[in-house]
Structure 1
């Protein structure tokens, strides 16, 4: 079995055992890293994705978001919350480009996803005037619009 098939089989085992799992995709000189869930669809939730963070940091954000959804209900596009981190808020946008979420597509077929968008060091989001990070630091896979619901 090739390494890609081994990784997919391990992801499937994790989803079977725990109901969901996180897939981390390493970045390179031309693409930012990203991490996403596989299996939240079975709970009636959107899969979650975060871009531009190291796997260990993304893992914490995603696990906190899943815990928050377990206690408070599913996030929706347009939501913004400070419940996931001590360092600021996180906004949610609809993911339109799901092409990179290959393991989720293979395992789930059709699914919806939300991107968790994090602010820069001044608490500005990519759609805010004064956002300090380059677009390549946190690629947006959906419409960059100001979230309208604070939680």
Structure 2
């Protein structure tokens, strides 16, 4: 990527954040990594950022917007279940993110020293078991835990 592209892209993200309070950054997956989406700028109004992985980025973007809406009056807590956001009665589970290393656009917008709480919304396997449980049938690469 050229320097001009990055400068323009960061400026675009800043405009979206200014207008909507946050932006959702998509990272496309490949044969070695799952796609994921994360918020940039949400910490300014809510005190934290969100990430999801392992599904099509368009689906992830929609779910992240729903999670943001759900937390309009409360904050996430560890192992907090979220009902009603996925089809077939599946729920999401909130977990704290261990490392911010994957969130390069957050650092591009707010600087390399940015340190904010990040929450990952994880989805279960077909049996309702989350990837935080060793009995989850999803392969590790399907929905990596950040």
Structures share a fold, TM > 0.5? yes
Cα-Cα RMSD: 1.6
Contact 1:105 1:111 in 2 (8 A): no
Contact 2:34 2:144 in 1 (8 A): yes
| Cα 1:35–1:115 shift into 2, 3 Å | same
Please show how residues 24-103 of structure 1 align to structure 2 within 5 Å.
24-70=26-72, 72-87=73-88, 88-103=90-105
Q: Distance in 2 between matches of 1:24 and 1:45?
A: 21
TM-score of the aligned structures, taking structure 2 as reference length: 0.87
| Cα 1:3–1:54 shift into 2, 3 Å | farther
Misfit runs of 4+, over 4 Å: none
Contact 1:68 1:84 in 2 (8 A): no
> Where does the alignment leave 5 or more consecutive residues of structure 1 unmatched?
142-151
Q: How many residue pairs get matched?
A: 140
